[in-house]
Structure 1
Amino acid sequence: MSQSSLDDDELFGEAASEMRSDVEESLDAARSELPDSDDVWETDADNVLGVLNGLRSALDAGEAEDHLRDAKKWFTMGQRADAFDDADDLEEAIGDLEELVEEMEEAADQVGDLTATVPDLRGSLDEAETETEEAEDDGDEADEE
């Protein structure tokens, strides 16, 4: 091997390019794992609970979080090594994707809360309706007497 093929600056530049590429690939993989907006927006459920369960499933980021973690790992490594000449675009892309995943997680938590609450609410409303009907029936019977 010649001396020029082992030049530290050249090797560092090559490693920096590979690191940038790894970050970009991880970001692309994370984006591809996100649900389609139509999956979150459209439904074919017959009732509210079905809608909520479908929405909660649609809000699952899946492997996107793992890919985002890889992107952040390689970005942090490259940034600490001062390997990137201009990494503002990568930092912005990571921040945007991280914000979106967090927003999806928060929405999924809220949907999960509703999924647990709506059946209880329905049961309470059914009980109240039954009690109202019974009270009306008792009132009708008293009027007949």
Structure 2
Amino acid sequence: MSQATFGDDELFGEAANEMREDVETSLADAWAALPDADDVWEADADNVLGVLNGLNSALNAGDAEDHLRDAKKWFTMGQRADAFDDADDLEAEIADLEDAIADISDAEEQVGELTTTIPALRGTLEDAGPDTEADDEADATDEDGDEAEA
């Protein structure tokens, strides 16, 4: 059996190319894992709470954070090994992806807060106003009138 000989530079170059491909693949997977813009923009609900719950579900970065972590791990390793001839494009894309994930996370947090605030606000508004005997009597008359018509 003959043994192929490879120079260290050739092997290093091949490894550097594979590392760059791994970073690019992880970045592509991360972008693909982000929520679809239409899912965030469009709503199908009967009330505000339904819209907020739907939006909260849509605002999930999902596996994008894991893919970003993989991309950063291989990118950092490649940079420290000085394996990339030009890594500015990868670095810029990583930063853009980090910003997008941070924006999604911030929006998810704000929507989550509204999801708990809106029902409480509704209850407050329903209970707001003076509670008088006249209101109670009007309610009783309406109830009696509705029953008489039935």
Q: Is 1:32 paired with 2:32?
A: yes
Find out whether 1:135 has 2:139 as its counterpart: no
What's the TM-score once normalised by structure 2's chain length?
0.85
Deviations 1:63-86 (A, max 9, x none): 010000000000000000000000
Select the structure that is richer in helix: 1
Query: What is the aligned partner in structure 1 of residue 72 from structure 2?
Result: 72
Q: How does 1:1-145 map to 2 (within 5 A)?
A: 1-2=3-4, 5-128=5-128, 131-132=129-130, 134-135=131-132, 137=134
RMSD value, Cα:
1.6
Query: Aligned partners of 1:70 and 1:24: how far apart in 2?
Result: 10
Following the alignment from structure 1 to structure 2, what is the Cα–Cα distance between the partners of residues 136 and 118?
A: 29
Structure 2 residue ranges without an equivalent (≥5): 139-150
CA distance in 2, matches of 1:95, 1:12: 26
The aligned amino acid for 2:46 is D
TM-score under structure 1 length normalisation: 0.88
How many residue pairs align between the two structures? Answer: 135
- Secondary structure class of the residue paired with 2:54: helix
Structure 1: runs of 5 or more not aligned:
none
Match for 1:9: what amino acid? D
2:142 matched to which residue of 1?
Answer: none
